[in-house]
């Protein structure tokens, strides 16, 4: 969680720190800490709370267009999954990769369940699977070709487990798994632009291309752990920065990052509890209160 917030901040979606990307992941992490599983009805209610659903001030910052559209529909009474491709599922899946790292079957099932709340596009859902599985593998120190091979295997097993419940058009599970498998011959790329060229991205790379480029950047062992995050943020903004930050953070653990952002000790504790407990959030700050205070502080400063 600390790495995810660092990557989000590095991407600059919100000029003073982390954005709605991290805020959503925090809500998800709280539920996982407390119950060890996700209950989507409760999760949607908690997500909407930060948007002022209970007659409070909205506290989301720098929402992605896809998330803002979803929030608008949900507030009107219909939380309809987005049909357009999106990378948003990937940072949401990071806490799942940590909390469910020892139960691969439950991880695969849960990450698809979570992604389907927000997305109906297959590549968007699979981006969540890639992020969760890479984060889980990184918790055990996997890197390089082994990391990517594990991600490919997870995507294939996810199709076998839940693929029949998903409708898709334009792209297949086999094509997406093949795109990921092709990365194995290019492990070692450390430059963001080179990673985009390696995955064959157009001048304006789409979400699936960005996910593959981010996985390629996160795969090699890195002596300077912040470099992959910086490169990911440079090519994919806060969303990709958060994903790569989450993967790197799972591998290296809690450490200081070269750039400052608010509430870093909070995120470190959230990550610690996802890993080894306790399964308790009552003694942690309420996410809405934290974000409302951060916004109030920003306004007071100005």
Q: Which CA distances in Å does 123 have to 31, 82, 116, 138?
A: 26, 12, 11, 22
Q: Which fold would CATH assign to domain 2-41+59-64+83-301? A: ADP-ribosylglycohydrolase fold (1.10.4080)
Smallest CA-to-CA distance from 274 within 171, 154, 139 is with 139
- Model confidence, pTM: 0.95
Encode pLDDT of 32-68 as tens digits: 999 999 999 999 999 999 999 877 899 999 999 999 9
Largest CA distance in the chain: 53
Query: CB-based contacts of 51: which residues, under 8 Å, 6+ apart?
Result: 58, 59, 60, 71, 75
The pLDDT assigned to 299 comes to 44
> Using CA of residue 174, residue 176, residue 178, residue 181, what is the dihedral sign?
negative
Encode pLDDT of 114-124 as tens digits: 999 999 999 99
Rounded CA separation 269/284 (Å): 9
Rounded CA separation 216/114 (Å): 24
Average pLDDT, the chain: 94
DSSP state of 82: B
Rounded CA separation 167/174 (Å): 14
Encode pLDDT of 100-156 as tens digits: 999 999 999 999 999 999 999 999 999 999 999 999 999 999 999 999 999 999 999
CB atoms closer than 10 angstroms to residue 67: 22
Task: Categorize the per-residue pLDDT at 298 as very low, low, confident or very high, splitting at 50, 70 and 90.
Answer: low
Smallest CA-to-CA distance from 153 within 129, 120, 171 is with 129
- Which alpha helices (H) appear in 100-206, and where do they start and end? 104-118, 122-139, 144-162, 173-181, 192-198
């Amino acid at each position: 969680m600390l790495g995810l917030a660092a990557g989000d901040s590095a991407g600059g979606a919100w000029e003073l720190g982390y954005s709605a990307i991290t805020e959503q992941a925090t809500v998800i992490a709280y539920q996982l800490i407390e119950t060890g599983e996700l209950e989507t009805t409760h999760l949607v209610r908690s997500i909407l709370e930060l948007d002022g659903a209970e007659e409070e001030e909205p506290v989301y910052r720098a929402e992605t267009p896809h998330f803002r559209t979803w929030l608008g529909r949900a507030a009107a009474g219909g939380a309809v999954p987005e049909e357009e491709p999106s990378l948003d599922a990937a940072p949401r899946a990071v806490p799942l990769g940590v909390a469910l790292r020892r139960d691969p079957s439950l991880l695969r099932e849960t990450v698809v369940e979570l992604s389907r709340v927000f997305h109906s596009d297959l590549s968007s859902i699979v981006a969540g699977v890639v992020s969760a599985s890479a984060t889980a593998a990184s918790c055990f120190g996997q890197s390089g070709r082994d990391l990517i091979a594990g991600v490919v295997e997870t995507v294939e097993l996810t199709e076998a487990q839940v693929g029949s419940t998903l409708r898709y058009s334009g792209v297949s599970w086999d094509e997406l798994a093949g795109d990921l498998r092709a990365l194995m011959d290019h492990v070692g790329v450390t430059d963001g632009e080179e990673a985009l060229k390696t995955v064959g991205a157009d001048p304006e790379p789409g979400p699936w291309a960005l996910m593959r480029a981010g996985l390629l950047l996160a795969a090699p062992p890195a002596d300077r752990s912040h470099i992959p995050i910086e490169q990911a943020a440079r090519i994919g903004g806060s969303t990709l920065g958060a994903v790569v930050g989450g993967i790197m953070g799972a591998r290296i653990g809690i450490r200081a990052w070269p750039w400052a952002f608010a509430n870093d000790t909070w995120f470190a504790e959230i990550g610690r509890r996802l890993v080894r407990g306790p399964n308790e959030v009552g003694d942690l700050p309420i996410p809405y209160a934290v974000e409302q205070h951060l916004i109030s502080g920003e306004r007071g400063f100005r």
